[in-house]
Chain A
Amino acid sequence: MLLVMLGVLIFIFALSKAPNNVDPVTIILGDTYTQEAYDEVYHELGLDRPILTQFLDYVWGVITRLDLGTSYQTRKAVSTEALARFPISLRISLLAVLISLPIGVVLGIIAAYKQYSPLDYTITVVSMIGQAMPNFWLAIMLIMFFSLKLKLLPASELNDWRGYILPALTMASTPISTITRMTRATMLEVIRQDYIRTARSKGLTERTILFRHALQNACIPIVTQVGNQIALTVGGSAVIENIFLIPGLGAYLIFSINANDTPAVQGTVLLFSAFVTVVNITLDILYGYIDPRIKAKYTNTSSLAKKLAKEAKKSGMEAA
């Protein structure tokens, strides 16, 4: 995992050195400057040193001081700017996941229990539509309906809790649909298993069967989906924050990209991928707790089987 983060560092550093980038000195100084001023800033940014030294310095700064560099635009540390905005994005993402998890699971269970009924078809088709609907359009429609027409919710202010509703709802649309479909599919598999029949023949109540036997066994794919959805919502935050004018990390990234503020772009991308990595590690640990069989699988099987198991899990991650 640390290796992956190092790789991300190399990657974003390489991006910043791409030939298409605007000369950072001109971003700081504007269009008119003297040669002396240019040289001074050039030196100050360390651009006169060899690329390898620049890179090692950058990595060293990130590792030891969590120093992501200085923004060209504001001349402030990127880490403080980014970390100030991160909680806002995080709050919306978590809110979206919190909304979508129960709704998705419940809808999925209903659809699975009533397979091939009109209700099942409706849920399936609606969730397909929800999955395919582009976030930016849904956001605009929600604003037009709830803010402009009904004047119920604010379109862009985050002053109180009401400001979070529309962004979180928009962000939740895809996770709800994905979790619904995932739950339906796994539940369909699970409720046909022998142990469910056994439980039923023991005379257990439907509720015990559902919660103790069926749902627990359907947990793993659902948890995987939740993890993927967190990563996805983080990616989608750029678009949603842009529409709702939320001063979050995604909006900061887009703003920095448009301003050619390379250190800020690097820092934000790094922060995003660090977040995704942490979510994935957490999930890996969670798997072991939810399903002890997974731990066992990793400890005593052939290398190919291990590889396959790992791949099966990873390829389940559908990044949009």
Chain B
Amino acid sequence: MMETTALDRKKRLNTTSGQFRIALRQFRRNKIAVVGIIIFLIIVLSCVFADKISAYDYAAQDIRNKFAPLSMEHPFGTDQFGRDVFTRMLYGGRISLVVAFSAVLLSAAVAVLLGTTAAFFGKAYEMIVMRIIDILQSIPGLLLAAAVSTAIGTGIQNSIIAIAIGQLANTTRLMYSATLTVKNQEYLEAARACGASKTRIIFHHVIKNILAPLIVQVTSRLGSGITQIASLSFLGLGVMPPTPEWGSILNAGKQYMRSYWPLVTFPGLVIALTLISVSFIGDGIRDAVDPRLKR
């Protein structure tokens, strides 16, 4: 008895990992995606190990050394307070990436819950949820995030919430339409006939079958999450100085654009490189997970 269940489980594991392996093989074949993931990993790991890579303190001021010429000690130069820009970018990346990741995951979790239940239960509930989504969608994402951040305030936590709300409509809509397409499939009918509860059907059958668009959506939203937190901080609405954040570093450097070019060039380059690599990864994942979505 024990043996058969163990065998069953092993078989099941094999099939899922088989699917996963196919996707992985597809992904690895995609050169652009592999380049993207390498660049992204380098950036993420340097941010994670910021204290090992850089000997400087991101807040340590050294006024005599301000606007230092590029050198091995200061590869990105120093800012108006003589702080090492490279170090600030490393520590700032922690904030930017954490905020973007959390916001995307938060909005994806809420969106899955709202989207699947709305499509699944229908009736008045569906109407109410989707109308609220319509309302949120009629305000451009960044402006929505900006408006929310005025109401709940700035800071890391509030920025996460603001960006998550800004992205919510789009992801919910996607989850909703994905659920609509699987809703009338026979396997759901079979599950229902077996007496599976609604919760079980949603969590066990529906969500598993809309995983492909969900994964694609999460990776593609990650890029816009990074852009949004950087934009918010750039506008002075996200994470506030003295906490280093990519957008606020760039914003601080903006005033010195005429006199000291590295202060805007390098931080921007890092942000752009991150976003480009994320978008390469996202494209690779989309092609690998669901070739039908290929554009």
Give A residues with C-beta under 8 Å from B.
Answer: 3-5, 7-8, 11-12, 15-16, 18, 20-21, 125, 128-129, 131-137, 140-141, 143-144, 148, 181-182, 184-185, 231-232, 234-236, 238-239, 242-243, 250, 253-254, 257-258, 260, 265, 269, 272-273, 276-277, 280, 304, 307-308, 311-312, 314-315, 317-320
Chain A residues, Cβ within 8 Å of B280 = 128
Known: A12-B147, A144-B264, A319-B169. 17 other contacts (CB 8 A): A7-B135, A8-B135, A16-B151, A128-B276, A134-B275, A136-B230, A144-B257, A144-B261, A235-B140, A235-B143, A238-B231, A239-B235, A272-B139, A273-B139, A276-B139, A304-B184, A315-B177
Report the separation of the CA atoms of residues A243 and B255 in the bound assembly, to the nearest whole angstrom: 10
A–B Cβ pairs within 8 angstroms, 17 of them: A7-B135, A8-B135, A12-B147, A18-B151, A21-B151, A134-B227, A134-B275, A136-B230, A136-B247, A140-B257, A141-B265, A243-B254, A269-B144, A276-B138, A277-B138, A280-B138, A317-B173
Taking a contact as CB atoms under 8 Å apart, the answer to whether B141 and A20 are in contact is no
Chain B interface mostly: helix
Q: Report the minimal beta-carbon distance from B282 to chain A, rounded to whole angstroms.
A: 9
Complex Cα spacing A182 to B132, Å = 29
CA distance A23 to B271 in the complex (A): 37
Work out how many contacts link A and B, with CB atoms closer than 8 A.
172
In the complex, chain B residues 136-171 whose Cβ is within 8 Å of any chain A Cβ:
136-144, 146-148, 150-153, 167, 169-170
B221 to chain A, nearest CB (A): 9
Flag if A148 contacts B275 (CB, 8 Å): no
Q: In the complex the two chains form, what is the Cα distance from A136 to B272 in whole Å?
A: 10
Residues of B within 8 A of A239 (CB): 142, 231, 234-235
Chain B residues at the A interface, C-beta cutoff of 8 Å: 32, 131-132, 134-144, 146-148, 150-153, 167, 169-170, 173-174, 176-177, 180-181, 184, 220, 223-224, 227-228, 230-231, 234-237, 247, 250, 254, 257-258, 261, 264-265, 268-269, 271-272, 275-276, 278-280, 283, 294-295
Provided the pairs A4-B131, A182-B295, A272-B143 are in contact, do residues A132 and B151 lie with their beta carbons within 8 angstroms? no
Q: Which 4 residue pairs across A and B have the least CB separation, nearest first?
A: A235-B140, A137-B268, A311-B177, A7-B135
Residues of B within 8 A of A4 (CB): 131, 134-135, 138
Contact A312 to B230, CB < 8 A, known contacts A140-B254, A257-B150: no
Q: What's the least CB distance linking B31 to chain A, in Å?
A: 10
Flag if B272 contacts A134 (CB, 8 Å): yes
> CB-nearest residue of chain A relative to B177?
A311
Q: How far is the CA of A141 from the CA of B257 in the complex (A)?
A: 9
Given A18-B151, A132-B223, A144-B261, CB of A137 within 8 Å of CB of B250: yes
A320 in complex: contacting residue of B32, B138, B141, B152, CB < 8 Å? B141
